[in-house]
Amino acid sequence: MDIAPGLWIWRLRHPAWSSEAGWEPEVTSTVIETEGEVALVDPLAPTDEEHELWERLDAAPPTLVAVLKPDHVRDVDLFVRRYGARAFGPSLFWRDDIPETELEAIEPGSELPGELVALYDGRGRNETPLWAPEPRALVFADALTERNGELRVWGTPWHEERVLPALRKLLDLPFEHVIVSHGEPVHDRAAFERALELPAFEE
């Protein structure tokens, strides 16, 4: 699904999903083509039968992979092996979900190739959303989600104290697109602004 020039996504069912999960089975993988770089964000690999998707990736091979959150390791190793891409992500992971690839650590304020910038979301979940200036997009792991047609901030105990101030600070960026992993994936700036006024989503 193309969102803007140099910005597209695909959606696949997560293999670890179960009915007890607090999120829907399909998750989002994001591609950002900018400043000569092709970045995959939290990518989940297509099956071998999904030829068109692989052909599109092969036509513009990814140069970097970014993992935005410790539990979004997904298929970073596969993409690194296939394309020789550099890999970036958190410095800590869940003990049962550690990538084989040694990722270059990112934290809020880190600048990745392609002028991508890791952001602070205030949630205390070790998530670093990405700001992509050229396609004017924010890409989130779990800080925001879509439920019942509305973009929502995913709740934490620090919602009022830390999260809302951090997310309001992002309004200083001239973004037009907001991409989230769970629920309807693509939203606009107005939806982000509304999400900051709604109650936090609690599982």
Give tens-digit pLDDT for 145-188. Answer: 999 999 999 999 999 999 999 999 999 999 999 999 999 999 99
**CATH number of the domain enclosing 179:** 3.60.15.10
Task: Say what percent of the chain tops pLDDT 90.
Answer: 88
What is the model's pLDDT at position 10? 96
Domain presence at residue 81: yes
> Is position 27 within any domain?
yes
Q: What is the pLDDT of residue 119?
A: 98
pLDDT for the residue 21: 67
With respect to residue 201, please indicate whether it lies within any of the assigned structural domains. Answer: no
Residues of the chain with pLDDT under 50: none
What total number of domains does the chain contain?
1
**Contact between 79 and 85 (Cβ < 8 Å):** yes
Give the length of the chain. 203
The answer to whether residue 66 is domain-embedded is yes
Q: Please give the pLDDT value at position 49.
A: 86
Q: Report how far residue 184's alpha carbon sits from residue 6's, in angstroms, rounded to the nearest whole number.
A: 20
pLDDT tens digit sequence for 170-181: 999 999 999 999
Note the pTM of the prediction, 2 decimals: 0.95
Q: Can you tell me the distance from the alpha carbon of 106 to that of 123, in angstroms, rounded to the nearest whole number? A: 16
- Asked if the structure places residue 202 within a domain, the reply is no
Does 9 map to a domain? yes
Range of the domain at 138: 2-195
